[in-house]
Amino acid sequence: MTTPRTLKLRMAIGLLALLGLLVAIYLSIAELSYLTNSDFSFDPVCPSKGCGTVNQSRYVTMFGIPIGVIGAIGYLAILAIDLGWMTRRRLAAALVERGRSSSRGLVQALRRRLAALPVGLVLIGLSGFGFLFTLFLIYLELFKIHDVCFWCMVSAGLMTATFALSLAAWPAERLPGAPARR
């Protein structure tokens, strides 16, 4: 159920995911310039002076994929699902309008499925996984690399806030018959 509180929380989640995506792209450029050993060298502006050390460590990739790219994919998925949540009811209504002249039963079933998607639970799962992954990366920075990247910590804060807001928005969505709460 969409409540004003849930809508505000979802808008905040979308904004945090967009900011996280920008930070992850910024870090991806730095990591890829280091990994390709090309003439183009990009060192991120880092107030803590640890970004270079972290982005040039052996932990900069996981399964051959730069950590920044993994983060960008994660933030992009959260942003896409959050934006999809905001538009899914309009999409479901449009499907019903188009379906009035065609097979109404199929469209009604599709509308019910689309409107019943537990998007909040999906957001909790994605942001929860991102939060746990962030904790793992912080562990690597503190105990294996022995240096801290400012932009990595910004990303960690954004993912933590995204997870917390996803948890806060879930109760209002999971009770579809409940009255609107503010």
CATH of the domain at 167: 1.20.1440.130
Q: Are strands 61-62 and 65-66 parallel, antiparallel or unpaired?
A: antiparallel
CA separation for the pair 160, 79 (Å, rounded): 15
CA separation for the pair 122, 43 (Å, rounded): 35
Q: What is the CA radius of gyration of the chain?
A: 20
91 domain residue, yes or no:
yes
68 domain residue, yes or no:
yes
pLDDT of residue 130: 97
179 domain residue, yes or no:
no
180 domain residue, yes or no:
no
45 domain residue, yes or no:
yes
Point out the residues of the chain with pLDDT beneath 50. 178-182
Domain holding 164, by residue range, is: 4-173
pLDDT of residue 178: 47
Report how many domains make up the chain: 1
Reported as a single tens digit per residue, the pLDDT across 165-177 is 999 988 866 555 5
